[in-house]
Structure 1
Amino acid sequence: MTDTDDNARHAAKMAKKKAARDKIMATKTDEKGLVIVHTGKGKGKSSAAFGMIFRCIAADMQCAVVQFIKGGMECGERDLINEKFSDTCAFYTMGEGFTWETQNKERDIEMAQAAWEKAKELIRDEANRMVLLDEINIALRYDYIDINEVVTFLQTEKPPLTHVVLTGRNAKEKLIEVADLVTEMELIKHPFRSGVKAQRGVEY
């Protein structure tokens, strides 16, 4: 077979694939605000979510971030958004650190519930096309926030075109059931297990 024959066969194969793909895409006409969950033990849940936030910023779409659990620790995304894009993306860090750091359950619950109140306010505002609830799954896991309230709110009060992204390990089954898109990050290898600490540009 000559290179010309091989190229012709490839072109015909790709043309057939494109026609099939175009036929499928022609049926995808709906637009809706999605409930998106990033969970699992692997790294990349918040990183992927912030990738979508930066897409919104690039498209000049109003968006917002509420960080649960995380407190005064460094966060490159927060610093960049607050410095350069605060007119497009409101950013609220409303935790005080992971539970093993605060060692104060009552305070953790108080902060998580305050963060949830802020989250509801931002989601109700139809100007926000995407709202990221970073690490909310951790607060839900420890029952700092009622999962039934969160699910009911997303089903009944979220504006039709608003995307809500929820991150963190151990997403509750009730949340997964109502979500439109769920991704589980699988851990295969992690440098932490080899004694490597969290590093700027990778973890924060």
Structure 2
Amino acid sequence: MTDSDPATSERPASETTPEQTRRETPGGGVRPTADSIEPAAPAEFGLVQAWWGGGKGKTTAALGMAFRAAGHGYRVHVLQFLKGGADSVEGVRGEYNAIAAVPGISYENTGHYGWHGLLDGSDDDEHLAKARGALARAEEILSGAADADLTEPLDLDGDLTDGVHLLVLDEVLYAVDQGLLDESDILDLLEQKPDSLELVLTGSHTEPTYLLDSADLVTEVRKVKHPFDRGVRARKGTEY
């Protein structure tokens, strides 16, 4: 128990000033000043993360890490599989606008309109072609990273083939679930990953057991309750 200011402790809560309230919170109400974003290199990157499960938040978690890394001046890229759009989602998602405003982070969407296997009028062969094309793009980015010195800062506006510190392959695990990619395709990507690159894989409602020996972090995002189950469609600002 800590000593308090007698004048403050005797004053009714209704008379406590905002400044006194801030002072008495953990941390004293201090907000750290943000630094400008300058090119830097991570000291401890190099792990493989996999985020899967039937709950909402896999992409959200990956994007949170991507923005956090970019905020430290690391070069980051988000490569999205399958998310080509749907009638419930606008073409430009909120993360695209935010990514465009932050130095060092970039994105590509390689999906085909609709969702593979849902009989929504989209062409399943086109989904397959797009997924294979995204896989080839991922291999190209990994090849560039392998040739770069990831222990050094990278140009925040540099070409992806010049290296990235963190690569997010969003929904790539769903592409495996849908039969558009093979488990061996993912394991081959992990073999190609340079030691200092942090690689994040998301997607799949089915546990990617084939990754358990290779990934350093495997997190299940479990659904307890979801508004979609009562007919609430994707909402702007939360789901896209």
Q: TM-score range by the shorter chain?
A: 0.7 to 0.9
* Unaligned segments of structure 1, at least 5 residues: 5-29
Q: Which residues in structure 2 correspond to 1:35-114 (within 5 Å)?
A: 35-72=48-85, 73-74=89-90, 75-82=93-100, 84-85=101-102, 87-96=103-112, 97-99=114-116, 100=118, 101=120, 103-114=122-133
Letter in 1 for 2:197: T
Please give the secondary structure, in 2, of the residue aligned with 1:36: strand
Tell me the distance in 2 between the aligned counterparts of 1:171 and 1:108.
22
1:7-26 superposed matches below 5 A:
none
CA shift for structure 1 position 102: 5.1
Report which of the two structures shows the higher radius of gyration computed on alpha carbons: 2
TM-superposed CA distance for 1:171, in Å, is 4.4
Q: Given that residues 36 and 164 in structure 1 are in contact (C-alpha distance below 8 angstroms), is that contact kept between their aligned partners in structure 2? A: yes
Counterpart of 1:26 in structure 2 is none
Determine helix, strand or coil for the equivalent of 2:139.
helix
* 1:167 pairs with one of 202, 206, 213: 202
* Distance in 2 between residues matched to 1:102 and 1:35, nearest whole Å: 35
How far apart are the structure 1 equivalents of 2:127 and 2:121?
7
The alignment status of 1:125 with 2:121, answered yes or no, reads no
CA displacement 1:47-102 (0-9 Å, x = unmatched): 000000001110110011111000144321122213x13x5122110001311235
Q: Is structure 2 residue 178 aligned with structure 1 residue 142?
A: yes
Q: Which residue of 1 aligns with 2:232?
A: 196
Q: Which residue of 201, 208, 213 maps to 1:177?
A: 213
Give the whole-Å Cα distance in 2 for the aligned partners of 1:122 and 1:102.
Answer: 32
Aligned partner of 2:225: which letter? K
- CA distance in 1 between partners of 2:115 and 2:173 (Å): 13
Higher helix share: 1
What is the CA–CA distance in structure 2 between the aligned matches of 1:117 and 1:108, rounded to whole Å? 14
- SS for the counterpart of 2:213 is helix
Name the CA distance, whole Å, in 2 between partners of 1:136 and 1:102.
22
Matched, 1:116 2:152: no
Q: What code does the residue aligned with 1:71 have?
A: G
- The answer as to whether partners of 1:33 and 1:159 remain within 8 angstroms in 2 is yes
CA contact (8 A) 2:45 2:165 kept: no
Superposition misfits of 4+ residues, deviation over 6 angstroms: none
Aligned residues: 174
Partner of 1:14: none
Alignment partners' CA distance in 1, 2:127 and 2:239? 23
Q: Give the CA RMSD over aligned residues.
A: 1.9
- What does residue 18 of structure 1 align with? none
Structure 2 equivalent of residue 11 of structure 1: none
CA distance in 2, matches of 1:177, 1:130: 21
Partner SS, residue 132 of structure 2: helix
Q: Which runs of 5+ in 2 are unaligned?
A: 3-42, 146-162
